């Protein structure tokens, strides 16, 4: 038996809330509005959506929240029956902003821009490609903003990104099975910058936001567990590296206030998914046993629209819609990184009292049937997800 049968694997991450590995539910207010924010966000969560927007806080603004992502994903092999997995992921978010004066504000945010969780059943037909996996990045994002003119806001931030990857898959030993487990982590750095301009004060705002790519080189340990009689053909436990470039993104946004209590906003976002050309676990002692695996992801635009209506001075309701196409070609779509075009319908509400506020948002994520021609395992992926976000805020 060749050792290559034991260790050819990918960054098995499973589907996340958005296409690819993206997670954009970074505040419950935005979650309920279709995850818009490039032009409409003007609180501390602007650290994620557009750093220029932090100048919208009155003096001090702090937020703490979480988004619960409940995924129901199915795979039907050509000529076979459907198998499903159900996973739960809770990416958190926290922001703090202090406004020094009318022209300058600063803050810091901590959130999870990329991540996913996958756990296929024990009898999954593709368990020799992917079984269990989890990948997540935590972004620490110090931010400053400056208003050179009353109608123009500029912002920029530094990204310190910590990522972890934990994967396992079964090893096909013909008469029995073994297990390969890889766990690693790394730090990466990047930046983000944005502009908001009140083209028509109190009516029309335009925004632009850029977030840079982040190069990461995960380092960790690869462990191989097989019965003793297979020791001669099992690679030894060893260290590994995995180079991954988290994609850059560009967001363009518009926000309109057609009525005093109504905000309507739309974003289009370009994501440089072509940075993911291949995934290559480089084993230190047996590098020949783990060749690179092509992914050839393609750059994509996604579209977000949302609205917020203030029923009273304390209560607001929200709704939105998102179209988010997958970056994965049919020929490289596999169970390690399952994906599909997504349509999201969103609703939410917010209530403020004194200096405090509570925001809740919900998204129904529908994954269209996505055909895969991946030669080892052709078939169709489909499913749905529920995203529930809750954010507590305090402002002065």
Mean pLDDT of 97-124: 93
pLDDT value for 6? 34
pLDDT value for 11? 35
pLDDT value for 392? 98
Rg (CA), the chain: 22
Cα dihedral 250/256/257/262 (nearest 10): -70
Q: Which domains does the chain have, with CATH numbers?
A: 4-395 (2.40.160.60)
Asked if 2 and 10 count as a contact pair (C-beta separation under 8 A), the reply is: no
List of residues 6+ apart from 312 with CB closer than 8 A = none
How far is it, in rounded angstroms, from Cα 339 to Cα 14?
8
The answer, yes or no, to whether residue 280 has pLDDT greater than 90, is: no
Mean pLDDT of 68-74: 92
Q: And the tokens for 2?
A: 């060749």
pLDDT value for 231? 87
**396 burial level (CB within 10 Å; 0-12, 13-18, 19+):** exposed
Which pTM does this prediction carry?
0.92
How far is it, in rounded angstroms, from Cα 9 to Cα 178?
14
Asked if 250 and 309 count as a contact pair (C-beta separation under 8 A), the reply is: no
How far is it, in rounded angstroms, from Cα 325 to Cα 370?
11
Q: Of the ranges 167-171, 207-211, 362-366, which one carries the lowest mean pLDDT score?
A: 167-171
Output the CA torsion sign for 94, 100, 106, 108: negative
Place of tokens 């993206």: 22
- At 235, the pLDDT band (50, 70, 90 cuts) reads confident
pLDDT value for 323? 97
- CA 231 to chain centroid, in Å, comes to 39
How far is it, in rounded angstroms, from Cα 46 to Cα 262?
20
**Nearest C-alpha neighbor of 178 from the set 135, 119, 233:** 233
Write the DSSP symbol of residue 94: E
The answer, yes or no, to whether residue 4 has pLDDT greater than 50, is: no
Q: What percentage of the chain carries pLDDT values higher than 70? A: 95
Structure confidence by residue, pLDDT tens digits, 332-369: 998 888 889 999 999 999 999 999 999 999 999 999 99
How far is it, in rounded angstroms, from Cα 82 to Cα 180?
25
The answer, yes or no, to whether residue 17 has pLDDT greater than 90, is: no
Mean pLDDT of 71-78: 92
Report the Cα–Cα distance between both ends of the chain, in Å, rounded: 67
pLDDT value for 133? 82
User: Between 132 and 272, where is the model more confident?
Assistant: 272
Q: And the tokens for 357?
A: 């506020």
Asked if 367 and 61 count as a contact pair (C-beta separation under 8 A), the reply is: no
Structure confidence by residue, pLDDT tens digits, 130-140: 888 888 999 99
List of residues 6+ apart from 279 with CB closer than 8 A = 10, 11, 242, 244, 292, 293, 295
**For residue 131, what are the CA distances in angstroms to 38, 47, 127, 169, 180?**
37, 35, 5, 5, 10
pLDDT value for 2? 33
Q: And the tokens for 367?
A: 């994954």
Asked if 24 and 142 count as a contact pair (C-beta separation under 8 A), the reply is: no
DSSP SS3 for 298: coil
Mean pLDDT of 208-228: 95
- How many CA within 13 A on the CB side of residue 200? 7
Asked if 43 and 395 count as a contact pair (C-beta separation under 8 A), the reply is: yes
Q: Work out the number of other CB atoms within 10 angstroms of the CB of residue 47.
A: 33
User: Between 182 and 293, where is the model more confident?
Assistant: 182
Mean pLDDT of 80-99: 93
How far is it, in rounded angstroms, from Cα 51 to Cα 29?
17
pLDDT value for 15? 56
Three-state SS letters, 16-81: CCCCCCECCCCCHHHHHCCCCCCCCCCCCCHHHHCHHHHHHCCCEEEEEEEEEEEEEEEEEECCCC
User: Between 249 and 3, where is the model more confident?
Assistant: 249
How far is it, in rounded angstroms, from Cα 310 to Cα 317?
7
How far is it, in rounded angstroms, from Cα 355 to Cα 393?
8
Q: What is the mean pLDDT of the chain?
A: 91
**Nearest C-alpha neighbor of 66 from the set 88, 82, 81:** 88
The answer, yes or no, to whether residue 201 has pLDDT greater than 50, is: yes
């Amino acid at each position: 038996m060749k050792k290559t049968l034991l260790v050819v694997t990918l960054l098995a991450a499973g589907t996340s809330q958005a296409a690819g590995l993206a997670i954009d539910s970074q505040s419950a207010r935005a979650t309920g509005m279709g995850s818009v924010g490039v032009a409409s966000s003007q609180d501390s969560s602007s650290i994620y959506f557009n750093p220029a927007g932090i100048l919208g806080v009155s003096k001090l603004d702090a937020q703490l929240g979480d988004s619960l992502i409940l995924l129901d994903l199915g795979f039907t092999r050509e000529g076979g029956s459907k198998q499903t997995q159900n996973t739960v992921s809770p990416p958190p978010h926290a922001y703090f902003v202090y406004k020094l004066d009318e022209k300058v504000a600063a803050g810091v945010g901590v959130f999870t821009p990329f991540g996913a969780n996958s756990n296929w059943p024990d009898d999954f037909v593709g368990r020799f490609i992917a079984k269990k996996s989890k990948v997540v990045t935590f972004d620490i994002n110090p931010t400053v903003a400056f208003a050179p003119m009353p109608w123009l806001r500029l912002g920029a931030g530094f990204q310190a990104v910590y990522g972890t990857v934990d994967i396992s898959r079964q090893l096909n030993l013909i008469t029995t099975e073994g297990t390969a487990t890889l766990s690693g982590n790394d730090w990466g750095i990047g930046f983000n910058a944005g502009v908001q301009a009140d083209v028509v004060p109190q009516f029309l705002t335009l925004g632009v936001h850029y977030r840079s790519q982040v190069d990461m080189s995960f380092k960790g340990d690869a462990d191989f567990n097989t019965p003793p009689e297979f020791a001669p053909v099992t690679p030894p436990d060893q260290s590994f590296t995995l180079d991954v470039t988290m994609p850059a993104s560009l967001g363009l946004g518009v926000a309109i206030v057609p009525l005093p209590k109504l905000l309507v906003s739309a974003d289009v976002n370009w994501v440089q998914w072509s940075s993911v050309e291949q995934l290559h676990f480089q084993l230190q002692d047996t590098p020949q046993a783990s060749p690179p695996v092509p992914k050839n992801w393609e750059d994509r635009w996604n579209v977000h629209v949302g609205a917020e209506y203030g029923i009273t001075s304390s209560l607001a309701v929200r709704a939105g819609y998102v179209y988010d196409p997958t970056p994965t070609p049919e020929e490289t779509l596999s169970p390690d990184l399952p994906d599909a075009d997504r349509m999201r319908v969103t609703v939410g509400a917010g209530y403020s009292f004194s200096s405090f506020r509570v925001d809740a948002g919900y998204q129904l994520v529908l994954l269209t049937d996505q055909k895969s021609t991946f030669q080892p395992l052709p078939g169709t992926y489909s499913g749905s997800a529920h995203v529930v976000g809750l954010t507590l805020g305090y402002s002065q």
